[in-house]
Amino acid sequence: MNLVDSSGWLEYFADGKNAGYFAPVINDTKRLIVSTINIYEVYKKVISERNEDDALQAVAMMGQARVFEITASIALQAAKISYIFKLPMADCLIYITAREQNATVWTQDADFKDLEGVKYIKKIY
């Protein structure tokens, strides 16, 4: 299983320089999971930079994967990871969602780069 972090989804939708890194994972919807936090972050970014129609199209595509909501168990585990590694809340919620599903996190967000089960590529500007 795979989970593409919001930074990867946004790179893919913008056809950025690392879009090709994320494309095969995103297109393999049978092995792809999405956290509701990803949906929040992507929708917010796309609506702020483009428009609501584009934001809704983006989250509709994300919805082709299995979407996982944040449970109390995920929240508690994420809080512990956040405390230990001093990482942002959203990143921890996404990471723990992936770990609970034995999924690899694909990202270009440097906050994830040293965590187990992460495929990290440096963002190219």
Cβ atoms 21, 121 nearer than 8 A: yes
For 27-37, write each residue's pLDDT tens digit.
999 999 999 99
Tell me the average pLDDT across 17-43: 98
Q: Using only the alpha carbons of the chain, give its radius of gyration.
A: 14
- Segment 16-43 shows an average pLDDT of 98
**What residue ranges define each of the domains in the chain, with the CATH number in brackets?**
2-120 (3.40.50.1010)
Q: What is the pLDDT at residue 56? A: 98
Side-chain half-sphere CA neighbours of 39 within 13 A: 18
| Nearest Cα to Cα of residue 21 among 42, 35, 7, 31 | 7
Average pLDDT of the chain is 98
